[in-house]
Amino acid sequence: MSSGSTEPRRRRTVARALGVTAALAGGLAVVVAVAVGWLPGWRDWGLPGSGSNLGVHGVMGKANTGASRIACALPPLAAQRSDAPEGMVWVPAGRLTPGDSVYPEEAGGKPVQLAGFWMDRTEVSNDQFARFVAATGYVTVAERAPDPIRLAGAPPELLRPGALVFQVPRKLEGPPDPLQWWRYLPGASWRQPGGPGTHLEGRGSLPVVAVTLEDAQAYARWVGRQLPTEAQWEWAAREARDQATPQHEQPRQANTWQGRFPMEDAASDGFAGIAPVGCYASNALGLHDMIGNVWEWTRDAWRPGHEDAPPPALQAARAAAAGSPLAQGVIKGGSFLCSPDWCMRYRAGARQPQDLDLATSHLGFRTILEVR
Ligand SMILES: [Ca+2]
């Protein structure tokens, strides 16, 4: 690819990550109004909001090497199999009809039979990811120098390691445009999710973010597990029940956004910004934060709907025509930024594409363990 076309491609990559692309793989025209990002003032991020703390349980602050630490105590499971791996719950086998009817990309789901599997009760935390990095020396994608040849001609900031970070705009100008509240910040990474000068001190119980699919899979391999498929994730979020009429209301037992996005988060659910893992009540399976808090990686490649995957040759042709759609994966669950006025993706059936090599500060993951 010539240097003249690389920079626009990178801009498309960023735009896709922001959910504003109008041409996803397969030619489906979707303007994805995605609510993603961070609240202003990273130093206030993750702290309980001044609201009524609806839905939040067991928040505790405690000393951690002198720093204020915020965490939530996980409630005991009502019933747990004796062979349960630590920190995981069993998701029974069943039949799922995936998808929903709010956004076009949710349509077309066909029944799929799933075997049972173990799943992490919570999103992987900063503490857990830090142990992985300490043991292996792993360097995340956002911490590596981008390929200068692949990005030849790109703006200087895109040639430095970093991640997309949300910043509340001082004012909105013109039509709503995520580029008004998202910035690519060199130096942003899982260690500094808000960019240079931010840190994880006292936030070890918050979910790790700014990780790409490669990073998440590296962690999963290290613990001897893997990421869920989209269907596995959705089945678990639906509490292993094939619901005929999914709920579309903004959930109370989840960390989402209340108020006018992206300017004002009333935090009436108890948190402005990301919450520590497990602060909200679990679903019937014992899984916390499947909805809201941070988006979660699946191991599935993105398709614009639930139709059958096109033949490889057609996928390759689409990739050549549209940039790199094969380099997108499916993420699930929505984030703390999902709001009724911008992004109703606080639902099990909601889904979104995510560029595999672009770290964003609203996206984490959890692992599963399949039983063979
Ligand atoms: Ca919230």
Report CA(299)–ligand 1 centroid distance (Å): 27
pLDDT by residue (tens digit) across 157-201?
888 999 999 888 888 988 888 889 999 999 999 999 999 999 999
Residue 331, Cα to own-chain centre: how many angstroms?
Answer: 6
Report CA(257)–ligand 1 centroid distance (Å): 5
Does 48 map to a domain? no
The protein residues having their C-beta less than 5 angstroms from ligand 1 (an ion) are 255, 269, 271, 336
- Does the reported pTM lie above 0.85? no
Report CA(143)–ligand 1 centroid distance (Å): 28
Domain ranges, residue 320: 3-43+56-370
Report CA(293)–ligand 1 centroid distance (Å): 8
pLDDT of residue 266: 94
**DSSP structure string for 144-213:** SPP-TTTTTTS-GGGGSSEEEEE---SS--SS--GGGTEEEEET-SSSSTTSTT---TT-TTSBP-S--H
Of 325 and 275, more confident = 275
Q: How far apart are the first and last CA of the chain?
A: 44
Contacts (Cβ under 8 Å, ≥6 apart) of 142: 161, 162, 163, 188, 189, 190, 210, 211, 212, 359
pLDDT of residue 59: 61
* Number of structural domains the chain divides into: 1
pLDDT of residue 163: 97
Report CA(53)–ligand 1 centroid distance (Å): 9
Amino acid type, 301: A
Does 127 map to a domain? yes
Does 327 map to a domain? yes
Q: 5 pLDDT exceeds 90? A: no
CATH of the domain at 194: 3.90.1580.10
Contacts (Cβ under 8 Å, ≥6 apart) of 154: 6, 7, 10
Report CA(115)–ligand 1 centroid distance (Å): 33
pLDDT of residue 309: 61
Does 49 map to a domain? no
Residue whose structure tokens are 């009760």: 121
Report CA(192)–ligand 1 centroid distance (Å): 21
Quote the percentage of the chain above a pLDDT of 70.
77
Quote the percentage of the chain above a pLDDT of 90.
60
Report CA(316)–ligand 1 centroid distance (Å): 40
Does 229 map to a domain? yes
- Can you read off the two tokens belonging to residue 318? 């689409």
Does 51 map to a domain? no
